[in-house]
Amino acid sequence: MATIGIIGSGNIGSNVAKAAIAAGYDVVISNSRGPESLTHLINELGENARAGTTEEAAEAGDLVLVAVPLGKVGELPADALAGKVVMDANNYYPQRDGRIAELDNNEATTSELVQRALPDSQVVKAFNHINAKDIPSDGTAAGTLDRRALGIAGDDHAAKALVVSFLDALGYDAVDMGPLAESWRTERDTPAYGKRVTRAELEEILPIVERVQQV
CA atoms within 13 A on the CB side of 13: 26
What domains can be seen in the chain, in order of their start residue? Answer: 3-208 (3.40.50.720)
- Give residue 213's pLDDT band: very low, low, confident or very high (50, 70, 90): confident
Q: Rounded CA gap, 150 and 71, in Å?
A: 24
Return phi, psi of residue 153, to 5°: -150, 150
Task: Render pLDDT for 77-87 as a digit per residue (tens, 0 to 9).
Answer: 999 999 999 99
Beta carbons of 41 and 102 less than 8 angstroms apart: no
- Give residue 215's pLDDT band: very low, low, confident or very high (50, 70, 90): low
Q: Name residue 26's beta-bridge partners.
A: 3
pTM of the model: 0.96
Task: Render pLDDT for 46-74 as a digit per residue (tens, 0 to 9).
Answer: 999 999 999 999 999 999 999 999 999 99
